Amino acid sequence: MGEMVILAEAMLLALEPIEKELKDGVAPLMKICSVCEEKKELCEYYIDKRLAKCMARCKKCFISKKKKIKVKAIIKICKRCGMEKSVTEFYFRKNSKGQLNSHCIDCCIKYKQEYRTVNNDKEQEKRRKTKEENKIKRALIKESNKELNKEKIELKKQHTRELGKKYREEHRDELAQYQKEYREANKEEISKDKNEYNKNRKKNDPAYKLRCYISSSIGGALRKQGSSKQGKSCLDFLPFTKEELKAYIEKQFEPWMNWENRGIYRLETWNDNDQSTWKWQLDHVIPHSDFPYTSMEDDNFQKCWALSNLRPYSAKLNSIDGATRIRHKKKDQNAL
């Protein structure tokens, strides 16, 4: 508001000499126009409100110049098709402010279509590179945002977990009933997915494959004694972890052994002269059957599954030992 008052006062001060001369009957002040170079009265000029004084051009020159600019801006000739078109039919240039492109919109579209037809492979490669670059940029931005908002993300996750836990507690019976009905309705599909998951994980995770074999072996031994694992995990009772067992077995590998050739003995594929056909198995130095146990808390269970009693052993020799019971006979002879 204060700036407007100052501007009005300045304009009044600029007009005071003209008004005084007109009242006194004196000839008005004159000013030379910068365009037509004619000497004209000050009333023939517009007042520049910003500078609070008369403009350099007279009113006539100012209007004619303005009209010329307008006429010039309405029509433009396209350099490609040579047609006169309205400025609304031209794109603005990317690198210059307010300047129009030399080609009209129709010519630009036609040119782009022709270029893409001729250079289709190049355009596809360009789009692919741009897509990959943008993918990397988005990943970097996401990672940087993740680091910046680490605490916020963690709080959000914790809040989500708490809400989920609260919901499950409040709707325990409903969820149990829904899961039961879902399992019964999709039994075959669930079994298929589970088997596929186990198959893939056993293929890529040797420690998990060993764990599955040990769990199955323990379950079989307990059933022979009329017992079971009672829904408990064998990992809670074994004197080692999966990783410790894997490292221990690897140390005892013979040169031909690896995690890919663990398996069972097959007479039709085994060739004594070709090590690529050989297989090995996880074996008990003192046979498993010599340590009967009815629970995973028994002393015999710990002795049977001690690391010192486990080894990687040729599948063929293990099969022969099982059939002839050589190790059992040695024990019986020692007992006598």
Confidence of residue 65 (pLDDT cuts 50, 70, 90): low
Angle at 252 between CA 246 and CA 257, to 5 degrees: 85
Given a cut of 60, whether residue 9 has pLDDT beyond it is no
Confidence at residue 26, expressed as pLDDT on a 0 to 100 scale: 46
pLDDT tens figures, 13-37 = 445 544 444 444 444 578 888 877 7
Which residues does 190 contact at the CB level (< 8 Å), separation at least 6? 183
Given a cut of 70, whether residue 71 has pLDDT beyond it is no
Q: Looking at the whole model, is its pTM more than 0.95?
A: no
pLDDT tens figures, 197-212 = 988 988 888 888 888 8
Confidence of residue 277 (pLDDT cuts 50, 70, 90): very high
Given a cut of 60, whether residue 7 has pLDDT beyond it is no
Closest CA to 315 of 265, 272, 273, 268: 265
pLDDT tens figures, 137-186 = 888 888 888 778 888 888 888 999 999 999 999 999 999 999 999 999 99
Conformation bin of residue 270: beta by default, left when phi > 0, alpha when psi is -120 to 50: beta
* 41 SS3 class: strand
Torsion angle of alpha carbons 77, 78, 81, 82, nearest 10°? Answer: 20
Of the chain, the percentage scoring pLDDT greater than 70 comes to 83
Q: How many CB atoms lie within 10 A of CB 291?
A: 19
- 7 vs 133 pLDDT, higher one: 133
